[in-house]
Structure 1
Amino acid sequence: MSAAFAAESAGGITAAVARYYDTTVDLYEELWGEHVHHGYWDPHERPGTDVAQRHGATDRLVRELVAYAGIPAGAHVLDLGCGIGGPALYLASALGCTVEGVTLSGPQAARATEKAHAAGLAEQARFHQLDALATGYPDASFDVVWAMESLMHIADRSAFFAEVFRLLRPGGTLAVATWSVRDGELSDEEQDTVKMVLRHQVMPSLSSRPEHERLCAAAGFEQVASVDWSAAVSHTWDPEFALIRHFDKSKTMMMELARERGVDVLGYFHAGPIMKKGFDTGVITYDALRATKPGAQA
């Protein structure tokens, strides 16, 4: 994260994340479709660039997390960082779940609500502009808490795991997919890469996979497990898939975006090559985590 962002309080970080997604909500949907998150590919598979292939890869990431975490059909799910509702609508339609989605971005919540109505799922999937650490839901409200690519935007990760533990019913499941940093000491060049990722993607820091596991267990969770999906998702940042070159070729288009929405919107395009470098060198990783709150489901 930039020096300006780093100097801000947790509340400032929250506001910065909200501003970023407020200004990019339609841009991400135009570029990536239903989901504001990575795609998933088999080993040695190359990403296709047509719309169906792009959507298939991002859809698959949702299915992979469902399978890895063992999300049960008909569960009551809290989606923390719901974006424009892609995963929530999948959980509602394919698994018959009822989902409450929360996002810091009012435009994202509004777009997700529109999509739920269009899909005939408005009664099963509802979306709200709320802070993930202050949703106001009572204790033990949900069977599942789902957090896909939202944890890295939260500065106080101990508070995140504690709040999720509070919100889950006994026997409930936590499912997380998140960007991470390689465990261990980083070289100066690797630290610079991470700093650039933080700056352009509006994040306070990145934690390692062992650190996520430790924080999760410290909050009281059992059966904590995680897996490295870096190789499966890294093609997301191939220039052709991310469509960065399409925009980079038009400086006029970039200038218009900056004038219309502010310079923060350009962070996505600057971040693409840096994210690719991070994955290629192994300093940026991508992990899935699952855990269970002790006790039996009623």
Structure 2
Amino acid sequence: MAEDVNKAVEQYYDSTIDLYEGLWGEHVHHGYWDLGSSPADDGPDRHAASDRTVRELLAFAGIPAGAHLLDAGCGIGGPALHLAREHGCRVEGITLSSQQVVRATERAHAAGLADRVGFRQLDAVRTDYPDATFDAVWALESLEHMPDRTAFLAEALRVLKPGGVLAVSTWCVRDGELDEAADALLAEIYERQAIPSLPPIGAYDRWCREAGFAQVRVADWAPYVAGTWDTDFAGVERLDLHDHSFLRELARRKGVAALRFFYAIPLMKQAYADGVMRYAAVAAVKP
């Protein structure tokens, strides 16, 4: 099961790497806006909003400047480079996607940060780092793709030094029983985004405490990040998903995974509008 999911995630990101970068830039994750602000008005554009998500998680978790940090699910290196450049961190980024490793490494060299940031293809649930290696473990929108989040939390605790910080942001669903319409909507999102399932947001407080973390805090950032799926932010406001010639050409050039990405955009927007999708920011400390 886990190997099948990992392979699907690897193939998804290998085939969409330049698509995501072309549309969203270095940060392949949600943006963060003030309440009442969004890409549809005078709010920050997607690049500034995505950069802010990194800063908000950094502040929420209280990661110290100069920390030795593991970036679990590093994408093409946007957050890792930000943490190294702006916060003085030494970052080791890991991802399931070999193509993301290549691109992130290129970007680190281009930014002059290759001496502070490195990238490897590695499963965040089963790493080869010694116990108590890192001051912080960072996972920005990568737990969505993990079949066993509790195994990741156990691994994060293992590789953290005593007093080390966990910083996570991740998609969730609302607490409580979901109706058939919500389940059907989520099933479509899971299929198109290479996600095995999503837990209720309330699970993370319990899971972190059961794993052995202390000072656990969970916040729901859904009202701040939902604008990510406005068409202006997503970069597809001029694309017609009913234009079959466009879709055929896109599939020919990028593969069918690219189609899954585009069709997921209105589904994600609906999930936030319906209150089904939540977005957890999680911070905790290893005793």
Instruction: Return the TM-score normalized by structure 1.
Output: 0.93
Q: Return the offset for 1:256.
A: 1.7
Provide the secondary structure at the position in 2 that maps to 1:147: strand
Q: Return the offset for 1:210.
A: 1.3
Supply the distance in 1 between the matched residues of 2:249 and 2:129 (Cα, whole angstroms). Answer: 41
Aligned pairs for 1:64-213 (under 5 A) are: 64-213=56-205
Q: Return the offset for 1:15.
A: 0.2
Gaps of 5+ in 1: 1-8
User: Residue in 2 aligned with 1:278?
Assistant: 271
Gaps of 5+ in 2: none
Supply the distance in 2 between the matched residues of 1:80 and 1:256 (Cα, whole angstroms). Answer: 34
1:10 to 2, 8, 13: 2
Is the contact between residue 150 and residue 207 of structure 2 (CA under 8 Å) also seen in structure 1? yes
Q: Return the offset for 1:158.
A: 1.2
User: Residue in 2 aligned with 1:269?
Assistant: 262
Provide the secondary structure at the position in 2 that maps to 1:93: helix
Supply the distance in 1 between the matched residues of 2:108 and 2:264 (Cα, whole angstroms). Answer: 30
User: Residue in 2 aligned with 1:287?
Assistant: 280
Q: Return the offset for 1:257.
A: 2.1
Q: Structure 1's 71 and 48: CA in aligned 2 closer, same or farther, altered over 3 A?
A: farther
Supply the distance in 1 between the matched residues of 2:264 and 2:100 (Cα, whole angstroms). Answer: 21
Kindly tell me the number of residue pairs found equivalent between the two proteins: 285
Is the contact between residue 171 and residue 279 of structure 2 (CA under 8 Å) also seen in structure 1? yes
Provide the secondary structure at the position in 2 that maps to 1:209: coil
Look up the equivalent residue of 1:262 and give its one-letter code.
Answer: G
Is the contact between residue 162 and residue 219 of structure 1 (CA under 8 Å) also seen in structure 2? yes
Deviation string 1:108-165 (CA, Å, 9 cap, x unpaired) is 1111111110111001000111111122111111000000000010001111111111
Look up the equivalent residue of 2:129 and give its one-letter code.
Answer: Y
Q: Return the offset for 1:49.
A: 9.1
Aligned pairs for 1:174-253 (under 5 A) are: 174-248=166-240, 250-253=243-246
Supply the distance in 1 between the matched residues of 2:55 and 2:234 (Cα, whole angstroms). Answer: 21
Q: Please identify runs of 4+ aligned residues in structure 1 that moved more than 3 A.
A: none
User: Residue in 2 aligned with 1:254?
Assistant: 247
Identity of aligned residues (%): 55
Supply the distance in 2 between the matched residues of 1:19 and 1:285 (Cα, whole angstroms). Answer: 26
User: Residue in 2 aligned with 1:26?
Assistant: 18
Provide the secondary structure at the position in 1 that maps to 2:239: helix
**Stretch moving more, 78-87 or 257-266:** 257-266
Deviation string 1:5-25 (CA, Å, 9 cap, x unpaired) is xxxx11000000000000010
Deviation string 1:75-98 (CA, Å, 9 cap, x unpaired) is 000000000000000110111100
Look up the equivalent residue of 2:19 and give its one-letter code.
Answer: L
Is the contact between residue 49 and residue 240 of structure 1 (CA under 8 Å) also seen in structure 2? no
Q: Return the offset for 1:261.
A: 3.2
Is the contact between residue 247 and residue 254 of structure 1 (CA under 8 Å) also seen in structure 2? no
Q: Return the offset for 1:48.
A: 5.9
Instruction: Return the TM-score normalized by structure 2.
Output: 0.96
Deviation string 1:17-68 (CA, Å, 9 cap, x unpaired) is 0000000101000000110000000011121699x82210100000000000
Supply the distance in 1 between the matched residues of 2:23 and 2:83 (Cα, whole angstroms). Answer: 23
